[in-house]
Amino acid sequence: MKIFTCLLVAFLSLAGCTSDSSKAVRLNAQVDSLLGVHPGFNGVVLVAEKGRPLVHKAIGYRDFESKALLDTGSVFELASVSKQFTSMIIMMLKEKGKLSYDDPIEKYIPGLPYQGISIRHLLHHTSGLPDYMAVMDAHWNKLRVAGNAEILEYLIQYHPEKRFEPGEKYEYSNTGYVLLASIAEAASGKNFVTLCREQIFRPLAMTSTDIRTPEEKKSVANFAQGYIFVPDRQRYVPADSFPSSNYIVWLGRRMGPGRISATASDLLRWDRALYTEQLVKRETLEEAFTPALLNNRTVSSYGFGWSIRTDSILGRVVYHTGSNPGYSTIIIRYTESDKTIILLCNNSYSGFQKIHEGVDALLATRKR
């Protein structure tokens, strides 16, 4: 009987592996077909089910000038996909009693001329804060590199008006996530980069993930440089060579809204941790996936660092996009069916949205 049981278990395991293998072969063929319609895409695609990668491939160049190829371990700027890590640091500090979501921001940032705004408003993008980049662009000496302290200093000094009253509506705000990183530092007594490393990156073995300076990026052998195609030259040019992209240099020490760089594999480790209580309790995490309630009692489509929607077949979807000069990124998590899509692009491909919508559609046909 024991022999029969062992054989049965082995058979079922083999059947499961065969099933997964056939799924992977079929899905890879479908993704290849989709990418064939988008030959301009340059980046990494990862599609996983219950944490198992079914598709994981790299297409194109890490460096267009040297023709160095991308691989699945290439490191990309995440841009605004970074915001979910900022919100996680805030949630961790809340669990430790270091702050409350309903604390006013002036409790942690004295002198800031914006009343009635809470940490919750910042997390939900419902603060009404003005755009910090406009203030810095108008007044900052671009021969110097600014960080959060300088951004806060200029918001206090020039105090542009709020765009609306807190909680009145949803409006995406990079300023809010700059403030969240600074609040995290004030509440914890630690540098934000150190917090991310100690509380998230190292515990999750995200060994290729960090908040890097430009100099540190150059030392990463597998870093994917961001590029933009210039029609007049008929070639790709490094994104940081454009004057319109200079802000990534003179705002190069800002923290909170972006600047995390990572591999697709590390993002999958992050995805897996979000199904556990390794970082925060389940009920705490659930708040991140709950949309904001506005003053008029309607709801937005954004939680804490995550956009939220419902798929008619696969259920709840939490996701976030990112865009920096040369980069387009997205992570999509079907939390009820445990499917994950990660796309990292380093050539600002114009069809990026059509690709992730296409992969989305492929998964929607795979309920089981």
Question: DSSP 3-state assignment of 201?
Answer: helix
What six digits make up the tokens of 339? 């499917």
Q: For residue 56, what is the enclosing H or E element?
A: strand 52-59
**CA separation for the pair 257, 80 (Å, rounded):** 6
**CA separation for the pair 308, 301 (Å, rounded):** 5
Please state the three-class secondary structure of 64-124 as a single string. CCCCEECCCCCEEECHHHHHHHHHHHHHHHHHCCCCCCCCEHHHCCCCCCCCCCEHHHHHH
* Displacement of CA 271 from its chain's centroid (Å): 11
Report the DSSP pairing between strands 210-211 and 227-230.
unpaired
What six digits make up the tokens of 59? 């297409």
What six digits make up the tokens of 129? 């804060």
Residue type, 39: P
**CA separation for the pair 194, 80 (Å, rounded):** 19
| b/e map 127-140, b = 16+ CB within 10 Å | bbbbebbebbeeeb
Cβ contact 154:142 at 8 Å: no
Report the DSSP pairing between strands 76-77 and 327-334.
unpaired
- Point out the catalytic residue in the list 74, 80, 82, 87: 80
Cβ contact 269:161 at 8 Å: no
Question: DSSP 3-state assignment of 202?
Answer: coil
Cβ contact 362:338 at 8 Å: no
Strand partners, 52: 49
Sort 312 into a burial class: Cβ within 10 Å, 0-12 / 13-18 / 19+. Answer: exposed
350 catalytically annotated: no
Residues tagged active-site? 80
